[in-house]
Amino acid sequence: MLLTVDIGNTTVALAGLSGREVAFACRLPSSRDWTASAWQSALQTALAEQGTRPAALEGAVLSSVVPAITGPVAKGLEALTGKPTLVVGRDTPTGLSLGEYDPSNLGMDRVVDCVAALALYGGPVAVFDMGTATTLSVADREGVFRGGMILPGLQLSLEALTAKAAQLPPIALSPPERVMGTDTEQCMRYGALYGAAGAIEGIVRRVEGELGKLTVVLTGGNSSHVYPLLQTEAHWAPNLTFLGLAEIWKRNMA
């Protein structure tokens, strides 16, 4: 079993993969205060809760958008597994050409998502990863990264709206019962959800105007709320990043 780790701004997501099958998935907080030994302990506890022994792991691969956490997590994984951890960086062979894109501040999670989407669906492909931020990453049929967009995430948008308007309540995301809300809470929630769906639909139309027909893929923690609302054809792939990490592992370590 391969342990795949995706370090995000809010959580560190873990998944155990056997081939393309996800045996388990869980999350830890993206704590900036934990040392490598603290991460080793937290990771060991998380694996034990999933019924997995470190000895059963053939290795670990991780991507990160939080540089301060990357090193401690990687060292914690190596101490746990007794094997080198593949940290996906800008110099890691991924099979995805970055073309003319400036890689100096490119989040590797976007590269990993495109690697998985190309392996699963072919190109051209547009991946919307809906986490703390919503990122769009586009790769063409030749496997070249063409760029994309970065938008405020669903929860971030709602929190900003609540913070700036004293009379607006905190909002928890849940499926809309209709299109238009009949109280303030519903209006905010529906606006965020349908606004995100409408943004995706409009962005896809514009990108298709440049690249032609796209395969659209949604992933990330908030994608489950938006995917059912789309009026454009799309795939929902909640494990996309894990699968991309496994593809990169095979290219480099298998």
How far apart CA 144 and CA 99 sit, in angstroms, is: 6
Instruction: For tokens 């998502």, name the residue.
Output: 113
Instruction: For tokens 């809309």, name the residue.
Output: 176
Q: For residue 175, is the peptide bond before it cis, meaning its omega torsion is within 30 degrees of 0?
A: no
Q: Which residue is catalytic, options 91, 102, 109, 113?
A: 109
Contacts of residue 230, defined as CB under 8 A and 6 or more positions apart, other chains included, come to 197, 200, 201, 218
Q: E-assigned strands of 53-171?
A: 59-64, 85-87, 125-130, 133-139, 145-152
Yes or no: say if 224 and 236 are a contact pair by the CB < 8 Å rule.
yes
Is 33 annotated in the active site? no
Region for 214 from its dihedrals, namely left if φ exceeds 0, alpha if ψ lies in -120 to 50, beta otherwise = beta
CA distance between the termini of the chain: 12
Known catalytic residues? Answer: 109
